[in-house]
Amino acid sequence: MVRRKIVAATGCPTGIAHTFMAAESLKKAAEEMDIDIKVETHGQVGIENGLTEEEIREADGVIVAADKDVNTERFHGKRLVEVPVARGIRDPKTLIKQIVNEEASIHHVKGHTVKTETDDSKKDKIESVSKGKKNIIHSIYKNLMNGVSHMLPFVVGGGVLIAISFLFGIHSADPNHETYNEFAAFLNKTGGLAFSLMVPILAAFIAESIAKRPGMVVGFIGGLLANDGGAGFLGGIIAGFAAGYIIILLQLLLKKLPQSLNGLKSIFLYPLLGIFLIGVVMTPLMVPVQELNTSMMEFLSNIQSTNPLLLGIVVGAMSGFDMGGPFNKAAYLTGTALLAEGNLYFMAGVSAACIAPPLIIAFATVFFRRYFTKEEQNAGLVNFVLGSTHITEGAIPFAAKNPIVVIPIIMLGSSIAAVLTYMFGVQVPAPHGGFLVLPVVTGAIKWVFSILVGSLVGAVIYGLYRKKIANNLPVEE
């Protein structure tokens, strides 16, 4: 009997953990089901293990578990299952069964033709359109996260350089201050330049996800307009989506031009008309979006100073709920935006809440060692490293085994860490790095204490839960 063949692509916004965890889950499930699979990963370093045209052609179907653009146009005519990356981690066998049992619909890309169209293929096309309508929200999220994934290296690299410059003194980059240091000024200027590109890069790659390369330049200019106009992060998101759909509109309007002018469209008409139109769209939006952006920042800052308990609970719950997913990213990106505005307090709580989940798992596997398998114990030790470097996703495999119980425990631990961080008034000037940026943290000891308290509380509760389900019997080593 010929083994079935499946190809897959995985990708997450940060390209650090979810991407590869989903790939491993799919490979493991395929091996257990006696199915050949090749998984292409879209990580932070780019595409690895890329799929060839021949591999796609020979495959029975395609699984895309991604929260970013992985170029699904190349899968035209194949059975396609497209889901968030978390589904690839949690439920790989169900995804594979949809291909094997031919339950997945045929993926059709507009502008491509199919040689023959049977009743079944017509049915598949209808199902694909229907499914596409249901996936609008995921599509919007995927476009947004494509922007976020390309923006993060600028934010992290630039933010950490700025933070390092503070080691020489808070005002060490100011030539008029007595603590001025030339090297610190260099770090601050270089990091600030990278950080300042956050909004334009975000907008550019949202637009690129929607309209491919023609959308990128229009999105970038839209992001610059938003940044210069004070519309900030929200303005960048609006600019990215507006730019992408402006290019889609132009492609429809210019569709009837002779094919010989395709080069002219790409290099002249799309940039010229697109930049003009994004300017027309963004200019009247600048004032209301700027006011909305400012109001949101002020609201969060006010809650932070007047009710740190409430803010810590909200930030902790968001960060711990999906550990790198949409809610976690919303809290993180809000912290990043506030960091750009000079608010160093909000990010401190977000970072604490993101560091806590893997540490909860790590401490639990140490203190309640006998209730975890050898494989889980090893993974727990790895979580010490992941947590210390602000990589939340290490907790996901443990949470996935019983999310209804484990996720609330993680949310509790994250919330405690965030609440204590805000109550102590800790300041963290870097958007990433975990304990590696401790030298530049104001209130570093209090920050570590806050994280450890939240992590230990969560670890004890999680450990007791594992003890209970094990019926007080040790797990075989």
Closest CA to 275 of 243, 251, 301, 302: 243
Residue 476's pLDDT is 43
pLDDT tens track for 141-173: 788 878 877 887 887 788 778 778 877 876 788
pLDDT tens track for 232-257: 777 888 999 999 999 999 999 988 88
Amino acid at 161: L
Residue 121's pLDDT is 44
- Residue 432 confidence class, pLDDT cut points 50, 70, 90: confident
Q: Is the pLDDT of residue 111 over 70?
A: no
CA distance 37 to 88: 13
pLDDT tens track for 10-31: 988 766 677 888 899 999 999 9
Contact (CB, 8 A) for 107 and 63: no
Residue 326's pLDDT is 65
Residue 186's pLDDT is 93
Please report the DSSP string for 272-328 in residue order. HHHHHHHHHHHHHHHHHHHHHHHHHHHHHHHHHHH-HHHHHHHHHHHHHHHSSSHHH
Helices (H) and strands (E) in the chain, counts: 19, 5
Residue 118's pLDDT is 43
pLDDT tens track for 207-235: 998 988 889 999 999 999 988 887 777 78
Residue 128, H or E segment: helix 119-134
CA distance 440 to 438: 5
Residue 120's pLDDT is 46
Q: Is the pLDDT of residue 6 over 70?
A: yes
- Residue ranges of alpha helices (H) inside 389-443 are 396-401, 403-424
Q: CA torsion, points 243, 248, 253, 254, in degrees to nearest 10?
A: 100
Residue 257's pLDDT is 81
Residue 124's pLDDT is 45
- Which position has the higher pLDDT, 374 or 421? 421
Q: CA torsion, points 131, 136, 141, 143, in degrees to nearest 10?
A: 100
Arithmetic mean of pLDDT, 44-56: 86
Amino acid at 254: L
Tell me the pLDDT of the chain averaged across its residues. Answer: 83
Please tell me the least confidently modeled range out of 262-276, 406-420, 427-441.
427-441
For the chain, domains (ranges, CATH) are 5-133 (3.40.50.2300), 138-290 (no CATH), 307-469 (no CATH)
Contact (CB, 8 A) for 339 and 381: no
Is 12 a known active-site residue? Answer: yes
> Per the residue annotation, which of 8, 9, 12, 407 is the catalytic one?
12
Arithmetic mean of pLDDT, 429-454: 88
Residue 68's pLDDT is 81
Arithmetic mean of pLDDT, 369-393: 83
- Residue 473 confidence class, pLDDT cut points 50, 70, 90: low
* Report for 323-327, 331-335, 439-443: range of highest mean pLDDT: 439-443
pLDDT tens track for 129-146: 444 444 677 788 788 878
pLDDT tens track for 290-321: 787 777 667 766 776 678 788 888 888 888 88
